[in-house]
Amino acid sequence: MMQITASGPVDDGNADLAALKEHYQDNDFARLPGFLAPDFLREIQAELRAAPFIHKVHRGIGEELVCWDSKSGDKLQFVMNDPRLFAWINQITGCGYIGCFLGRIYRMSPGKAHHDSWHSDVGGHRLVAVSVNLSEEPYNGGTLILREGGRPETERRLPNVVPGDAVMFRLDPSLEHWISDVEPGPDKTAWAGWFRSEPTFLEVISGKKKF
């Protein structure tokens, strides 16, 4: 399994790539247990305790708290843009050329009107979506639900309750997803984003292209 450390991705060689690929192709998602290395996860969690989160409205989709311009976000952005990780993701998903990964750290709190609605994330050269659990305490609700567009009978609930674990899922016009409300108790904190065909990460950090 590919694991993300503070210095970059490391493949421990234990993942059955054929099985992961088959599951992704058949179900449109794959689970990545232990995706963030424990030491790196604790480092990120410690930094986020004092990091500022601001209210963010995703027009027509939902509301949440987002942590912009943080050391944690910069670290995650950097290590997620490693060509070794891109190659591994492409092996599993068959998504083709990956130019960059762009993500955000977000938080959903119970009783704060933070919510989500059905959407596809298609557009902006997005290929594959990933959500990583950064929470320090078990939370209730906040579950990713994936389905074929407009077909409730195809809904699949994909809880991701173990800190450091990730869920990766396909982006396609025929698919849509949403995050259920977080129920009373601890907040949900996650790192979520998309592998994209363009721009390249070099273009992003050089300021030539912004998304």
Residue 11, domain CATH: 2.60.120.620
Q: Mind listing the pLDDT tens digit for each residue in 11-31? A: 877 778 899 999 999 999 999
- Beta carbons of 79 and 36 less than 8 angstroms apart: no
Is residue 41 included in any domain, yes or no? Answer: yes
Closest CA to 92 of 176, 155, 152, 25: 25
* Domains: count for the chain: 1
Q: Which domain holds residue 33?
A: 2-205
> According to the model, what pLDDT value does residue 63 have?
82
Is residue 210 included in any domain, yes or no? Answer: no
Taking residues 107-126, report their average pLDDT: 84
Q: How many whole angstroms separate alpha carbon 155 and alpha carbon 90?
A: 25
Q: How many whole angstroms separate alpha carbon 79 and alpha carbon 69?
A: 16
pTM reported for the whole predicted model:
0.93
CA separation, residue 120 to residues 9, 36, 129 (Å): 28, 25, 10
Taking residues 120-145, report their average pLDDT: 95
Is residue 211 included in any domain, yes or no? Answer: no
